[in-house]
Structure 1
């Protein structure tokens, strides 16, 4: 469970993050409220749509890099930040493009690990426990 909540933080976000990566963004802070699995799914879908500029159903390295550049240097600025290793981690089959399914796989895997009681919600208590493993 090491870094689970940190990884979730990189994969989920508040509705304000759905606008554009350069828009003023307010994020949900960890430990602020329970986070639902359905929120993770919805966020990843919206964020994927933002990255897939040409709407061909996958994100290629150029789209990923453009999205990263547009979001700016917001490391630790809240939920939803796409990190520098996102593409290589998401491209599970190594074909040089990320599908919606690949984009969802890691965030959901990390969420499921944090959701200890498997009720579809990372409760405040579960977030707190996962944070302990991070040394926060």
Structure 2
């Protein structure tokens, strides 16, 4: 159960803390700024992700938040599969969803990589081992990753630093 909490929490932490930062995407990444990224922006992004995931607004990411996120995700998945929005998933709708999932897996679509790494990062984010991640723990982990990507330690991640980190991550995942 703790692992599922950590995976849920760190899906967003991964985006915040550097996996997405390291991606070097030239296009707008939603709340991820284009170009250089400062420490202050990374903290603001981490806080935004934390706020969205802290469903019950109690200042920590725990089992209750995980269950609420899973319920929301299940409802969203059902809505996507129910193409005609009749409240039922037909065999054709089911098969279309299965085909889409198979295509994502084949092409390495979102969420198909990095799950073991996110699980490991989640356990590291829970610094006190209480199976809940506080805002401070969340920020700390995000900034630790930021600092690793910020190779010249100037407080800003440049496109070159993102590409360097992305290449290192690709090399690491290819060795596994």
TM range (shorter): 0.5 to 0.7
Please name the residue that 2:53 is paired with.
51
1:45 deviates by 0.8
- Report the 3-state secondary structure (helix = DSSP H, G, I; strand = E; otherwise coil) of the residue aligned with 1:50: helix
Residue 75 in structure 1 maps to residue 111 in structure 2: yes
**1 CA distance for matches of 2:67 and 2:119?**
9
**2 CA distance for matches of 1:90 and 1:37?**
18
Deviation sequence 1:75-106 (CA, Å, 0-9, x none): 169xxxxx555643321111121110001111
Please name the residue that 2:135 is paired with.
100
Residue 117 in structure 1 maps to residue 121 in structure 2: no
* Larger of the two Rg values belongs to structure: 2
Please name the residue that 2:23 is paired with.
30
Which structure is higher in helix share? 2
Instruction: Sort the Cα spacing of 1:9 and 1:133 in 2 relative to 1 into closer, same or farther, 3 A.
Output: farther
**1 CA distance for matches of 2:53 and 2:145?**
21
CA contact (8 A) 1:9 1:30 kept: no
**1 CA distance for matches of 2:137 and 2:13?**
18
Instruction: Sort the Cα spacing of 1:121 and 1:56 in 2 relative to 1 into closer, same or farther, 3 A.
Output: same
RMSD, aligned CA: 3.4
1:8 deviates by 9.7
Instruction: Sort the Cα spacing of 1:56 and 1:8 in 2 relative to 1 into closer, same or farther, 3 A.
Output: closer
**1 CA distance for matches of 2:141 and 2:170?**
22
**1 CA distance for matches of 2:112 and 2:156?**
22
Unmatched segments (≥5 aa) in structure 1: 1-6, 14-26, 78-82
1:48 deviates by 1.1
Deviation sequence 1:20-53 (CA, Å, 0-9, x none): xxxxxxx889322222222211111111112222
Unmatched segments (≥5 aa) in structure 2: 1-10, 27-34, 78-100, 102-109, 172-176
Structure-1-length-normalised TM-score: 0.63
Structure-2-length-normalised TM-score: 0.51
- Report the 3-state secondary structure (helix = DSSP H, G, I; strand = E; otherwise coil) of the residue aligned with 2:57: coil
How many residues matched?
Answer: 112
